[in-house]
Amino acid sequence: MVLGWSELGAVATVDASARTTVNWKKPSQKKAYPKFKNGDWLIVNIKKQRVYVARKKQKRALYTMVCSTGINNSTPRGTYHIQNRGTSFYNASSKEGAKYWTSWLYNGIYLFHTVPTNKRDQYIKSEAAKLGKPVSHGCIRLTIPDAYWIYKNVPRGTKVYIH
């Protein structure tokens, strides 16, 4: 998918992950993940429930991930940067956790992460089935492989644009 750079901020084009049911155990696209380069960034389109891996020099989205952002507009909009990361967490008050988290705001309050897990670190299938719809508390939920790819490949300081 090739776009003009001004269009990339909106990324309002057809993507390969337009399935009705998302398999939360598999990557969002059948193609290989891109090799992340210096200057690449992540764009989150709340309306489309998608995360785009973008390359400014080539003015195009390299990869599209299905996501779930916050219910009732609880995902902050704006430009942020990747901060810390970890393999898993559990929040007793919400009775949910997740794996492969990467923070982008307030050092761990807002994250990219997998679909939710329970206190035993097991994926909650009923929550995973909602992937692609706004259902989180503000974080950005992803399939397991997509969250793992961001966790392993997107460096600290990478720009994250959410609209």
Q: What is the pTM of this model?
A: 0.88
Task: Judge whether residue 131 has pLDDT over 70.
Answer: yes
20-50 pLDDT, tens digit per residue, is 689 999 999 999 999 999 999 999 999 999 9
CB atoms within 10 A of CB 119: 11
Asked whether residue 27 is domain-assigned, the answer is no
Q: Which residue has the tokens 């992803």?
A: 142
Number of domains into which the chain is organized: 1
Average pLDDT of the segment spanning 47-68? 92
pLDDT value at position 20?
A: 62
Is 19 inside a domain boundary?
Answer: no
| Amino acid at position 138, single letter | G
Average pLDDT value for residue range 126-131: 97
pLDDT at 1: 41
Please say if 81 is a catalytic residue. Answer: no
Please confirm, yes or no, whether 67 is among the known catalytic residues: no
Phi, psi dihedral angles at 5 (to 5 degrees):
-60, -35
pLDDT, the chain, mean: 89
Is 104 a domain residue?
yes
Buried-exposed string 34-55: b where 16+ CB fall within 10 A, e elsewhere? eebeeebbbbbbbebbbbbbbb
Q: What is the CATH number of the domain that holds 128?
A: 2.40.440.10
Q: pLDDT class for 142, splitting at 50, 70, 90?
A: very high
Which alpha helices (H) appear in the chain, and where do they start and end? 5-8, 125-128, 144-153
List 67, 81, 137, 139, catalytic entry: 139
Residue 63 lies in a domain: yes
Which of the residues 67, 81, 113, 163 is marked catalytic?
Answer: 113
Locate 105 and state its tokens: 């705001």
- In this prediction, residue 62 carries a pLDDT of 96
Which whole number is the average pLDDT over 146-153?
98
Whole-number Å distance between alpha carbons of 158 and 31: 23
Q: Domain range holding 102?
A: 5-11+38-162
Q: What average pLDDT score do residues 121-127 get?
A: 97
Spatial distance between the Cα atoms of 45 and 107, rounded to a whole number of angstroms: 22
